[in-house]
Structure 1
Amino acid sequence: MVNVTQSVADLLAKMQERPLSVAFGGGRKLSSSRIGVGDIVTVTIWEASQNGLFSSGENQQGAAQIPQQPVSEDGTIVVPYAGVIRVVGHTPQEVKGQIEEKLKGMAVEPQVLVNVVMNNSNTVTVTGEVAKSGLIPLLPGGNRLMEVIATAGGPRMESHQLAVQITRGSRSETIPMEKLISDPRENIYVQSNDVITLIRQPRSFTVFGASMVNASVQFDESELYLNQALAKVGGLNDDRANARGVFVYRREPVGLVRKMVPTAQPMHADGTVNVIYQIDLKEPSGFFILKGFKVNNRDLVYIANSSLAEIRKFSTLISTTVSPVVQGAAVAANVNDLSN
């Protein structure tokens, strides 16, 4: 259990606002012009003489077009007379230099053009609630996340119902679609082999206890604060609620919890800890904390009953138990009076 002070609320807000560029270790674009395994490559060679190595009776221009070939699993292509050329990780300009160097002394002042006609390795996968799932080739100048989603035809439903999940290697991060639209920091450059999934994920929280309404409430806001969440259910019940007992239940990463409780240990296989946040509205700062405490998807909010409410329950129980006995005694007395 963590008592929420202003410093705790500030810490939570800071951790929850971490942009994708920080989560993935940088928002820089990476070059997608480097050749990878599976790319389809063509090589054209010109010579300064019509009687050069690559000239023939049908080709009097001193140029030769090497047929298209895929980059092999070991990262190479084959060029006649130049042999096996390692191309993976190199740009077409760098491969051009390699081939020209190997043809020196055999071809007459060779000039080479290397072209990637199918960029199969520098792609991202877009799937989920988009108009057209599939592989999206990356442009040499780099593609941002929103550009890739737009290339896939855009989302198939309203943005407030969607979350965007990015998987890069063994790591995944998920943000609301509205957050991606509204915050330029989240529109990061994608990288080769990223998997981008649009997930239908209506967000909700549950409230029970001494509130005006006990319910599971869906919300569309990209950022919902606890004061807004309580307002959606009519606030606290004045006759029953304990203003010192507003609790929010959720799981948090152990790294975050240790900033508040240094001895915290993981409780689940994913490294999370069960946390109960307590907010005291009797404190002057309590309502300011409500305005800064964000509600997460699937949060559970519980409003405790006041001690007076428990006394009233007990009194009601006693009165409902005693009343039939008293009424019965009164009836019996009346019967005795009549018989006398």
Structure 2
Amino acid sequence: MKKSVASARVMGVGCLAALLSACATMPSSGPSARSVGKIDERAAADFPIKVIDVTDSVARNILASRRQTLFSEELGDGQPIGSVIGRGDVLDIAIWEAPPAALFGGVGGDSRLAASSASSSPTARGTVLPEQMVDSDGQITIPFVGSVQAADRTPQDIAREITARLRGKAHQPQTIVRLVRNAAANVTVVGDVSSSARVPLTSRGERILDVLASAGGVRQPVGKTTIQITRGAKVSMLPLETVIRDPRQNVRLRPDDVMTVLFQPFSFTALGATGKNEELPFEATGLTLAQGLGRVAGLQDARANVKGVFIFRLENPEALDPAIRATARLTPDGKVPVIYRINMKNPETFFIAQSFPIRDKDVLYVSNAPLADIQKFVNVIYSTLLPVATTATAM
């Protein structure tokens, strides 16, 4: 009997020793806060990963480096089309003379114009020329006037020049120039729209949302759609939701602008001692750390280390302090591997978290608290030794 009890005790001690030796290899969802801290200690030896404690100044630097350029600032609010004539546009030109008409008095005149002039002024004479298309050189040809530069000028400017050049040939001439068909001023709409198209611009002054509606609207949710405007060599981007919410960003488009509608399903991944571990999408307008923690149901009270909240990110060098940037080793695509360390035990962090941005492809990781690992270890020991102790007691 005593020999059996002794054997059970030896077995229990052996199991305890084995468990103690395996303590460092307890199951875990990721590195501990201490392990991440060791990376920071090795950073001085040009270790490629930088560990940065999140403070108010750090959050401000990141926000300043990634500030969105507004359409109203970069593109401005252009003039309505029709005020400036372009190559390929078709013009309607009417020339009037006071009596006695010398050049255009009823000869070859347009019947519509003659009828209207007879009702308003029986002595007025005029004619409507055949529609004039602005050629590749930007010119039109007018009888008794010759070639007139039309491109990049307003209809009023063209009319004044024609009138000036007819003086001395026609009797008190007057000219009206009107844009009939806009062939030069178009906007190209491509991307995630119902129908890609070339949308003509009119004197109404079409804006981004007008052109988007002409293309049938977007095919994806508004919150996940970005508008990109390409104007020459300049490219500007804004979330569609921002354009809708802020009327100042709904700017007028200009000829040859290319509007690309992009579906951008931004997301971040939550791992560790959070309420749920999964990849979570967010809107193109952005997401803050506070909102991200809310979407993962916060931290697990029984497991989480409130001093061990981390964001793993490939950061743009412009967002980092110059001293950190100087010693950083860039990835092939020009990014810096960074681990942002957040101390949620500090009340000030909750204010910083309301402005600290979550970026696309970020990994939000919450490490286990040391006591949680100890509790896990104790539970394993208890579940292993309890049957041994029960057997020894029974013997």
TM-score interval (norm. to shorter): 0.7 to 0.9
Give secondary structure in 2 for the equivalent of 1:130: coil
Counterpart among 55, 58, 76 of residue 8 in structure 1:
58
- Among the aligned pairs, what percent are the same residue? 36
Say if 1:70 and 1:253 are closer, same or farther in 2 by CA, change over 3 A. Answer: farther
Higher relative contact order (CA 8 A, sep 6+): 2
> Structure 2 residue aligned with 1:137, among 200, 209, 219?
200
The letter of the residue matching 1:231 is G
- Asked whether the equivalents of residues 160 and 202 of structure 1 are also in contact (C-alpha less than 8 Å), the reply is no
* Contiguous gaps of at least 5 residues in structure 2: 1-49, 115-124
Deviation of the 1:94 alpha carbon: 0.5
- In structure 2, do the counterparts of structure 1 residues 303 and 186 end up closer, same or farther at CA, with 3 Å as the change threshold? farther
* Superposition deviation, residue 309 in structure 1: 6.1
Partner of 1:335: none
TM-score under structure 2 normalisation? 0.68
Q: Which residue of 2 aligns with 1:198?
A: 261
Q: Does 1:120 align with 2:183?
A: yes
1:282 is aligned, of 341, 345, 348, to 345
1:29 equivalenced with 2:92 (yes/no): no
Aligned-pair CA distance for 1:250: 3.9
1:67 lines up with 2:117 in the alignment: no
1:189 alignment partner AA: R
2:98 corresponding residue in structure 1:
48
Instruction: Give, as a single letter, the amino acid of the residue that structure 2 aligns with 1:88.
Output: A
SS of the aligned residue for 1:291 comes to: coil
Q: 1:139 to 1:250 in 2, by over 3 A?
A: farther
Shift of 1:244: 3.0
Give 1:34 deviation, angstroms. Answer: 0.5
Are the aligned partners of 1:44 and 1:64 in contact in 2 as well (CA < 8 Å)? yes
Describe the superposition over 1:56-98 as per-residue Cα deviations: whole angstroms up to 9, x where unpaired.
6553954333322332222222222222211221100011111
CA–CA separation in structure 1 for the residues paired with 2:194 and 2:301: 49
Alpha-carbon distance, 1:202 to partner = 2.7
Q: CA contact under 8 A between 2:186 and 2:198: conserved in structure 1?
A: yes
Aligned-residue offset at 1:35: 0.8
Task: Tell me how far 1:126 sits from its aligned partner.
Answer: 2.3
Deviation at 1:30, TM superposition (A): 2.8
Question: Considering only aligned residues, what root-mean-square deviation do their CA atoms show, in Å?
Answer: 3.8
Matching of residue 292 in structure 1 with residue 341 in structure 2:
no
Which has the larger share of helix?
Answer: 2
Task: Give the whole-Å Cα distance in 2 for the aligned partners of 1:171 and 1:266.
Answer: 30
TM-score scaled by structure 1? 0.77
Counterparts of residues 134-213 of structure 1 (less than 5 Å): 134-140=197-203, 142-213=205-276
1:150-183 Cα distance to aligned partner (Å, 9 max, x none): 3333334432242222222233333332232223
Larger radius of gyration: 2
Deviation for aligned residue 1:133 = 3.0
